[in-house]
Every structure is written in structure tokens, then in C-alpha cells.
Amino acid sequence: MLFARSYRLSTNNSVDAIKSALLGKMFKVHNLDFEVYESDQCIKIIPHAENEKDLKTLPITHVDLEGRGDTTNLKVSYKIRKIDQGGPYLLVVFCFFLLVGAVAFYMNNEHTLSYVMLTLAVVIFGTFWAKMQSGYFDYAAKIRKHLKEKISAS
């Protein structure tokens, strides 16, 4: 939903050539291993974060291949891991309630408290979003770059 993204790629390579270039391989992004395997007619890219001591929000990537004659269309989608989604969603809901409270206090002529709550919500959400851009969305961008490299090389 909020953290899920998808995009499409197209290549002249066959489905089998793409699968042979991707499946069974591991690659690193920011010193974190990602494994590529096939499950239910879909290629999945899963992070290996068992040995990680830092708290990270990581994506799970799904690649759906659709062969159309001499071209292959790829639908690449990624979403937040279930184990990681609680904290970010809780923070977004907290910021939303701060905004609702700020509006309610503003309607009751408590402007100072309203501005404090609004500022707090913006600062918390801005910091959170900057961390997500340098973490989760950066991992997703690097995975997309890796896929493009492998698909164009095969």
C-alpha cells in the first residue's frame, strides 16, 4: 500500500534466458545478501537479514515474467517484509493522529497547541521518510538497477 511499488520492464530476451541469468544467484546491496529464487511461476528476491544487528526495513521483490513472442515483459513489484511493517505503519498512524489533533485544537481556537502538534507531526514524518528513502527505497532502487543490468546482459 504505502510502501509497495511496482514498475515494468521490457526486453528482447526470452523468459528462459532471463531465468537463467537471475535464478540461484545472490547479490549484495549495502553489504546485505539478497537471494533470487523461483516460487509459483514468480521470481522472488529475498534479503538474508538473519545475522543483521541493525534494525532495517527491507523489501521483498517479486518479478513476474510474461513472454510475448520475441519480447518479454517483466512486472517488478516490491513490498515491505511482514516482520518490518509494524513500526512504519504505527509511525504513520501516530503522525496522522497528531494531524487530526492539530486540526481539532485549531478549530477550538487553541492555535499555539495546534501549531506545536502540526510541527511535531511534520518533523517526525519528515525524519521517518528521510530514513525510509536512505534505507528501504534505496534497497529497492539498487535491486531494480541489478535487475536491469542482469536482464540487459543476458
pLDDT score, position 41: 79
Tell me the per-residue pLDDT of 86-98, one tens digit each, with 9 for 90 and over: 889 999 999 999 9
What's the pLDDT band for 103 if we cut at 50, 70, 90? very high
pTM of the model: 0.79
pLDDT-derived band at 52 (thresholds 50, 70, 90) equals low
Mean pLDDT of the chain: 88
* Phi and psi at residue 115, to the nearest 5°: -65, -35
Mean pLDDT of 30-38: 85
All domains in the chain, ordered by first residue: 1-154 (3.30.530)
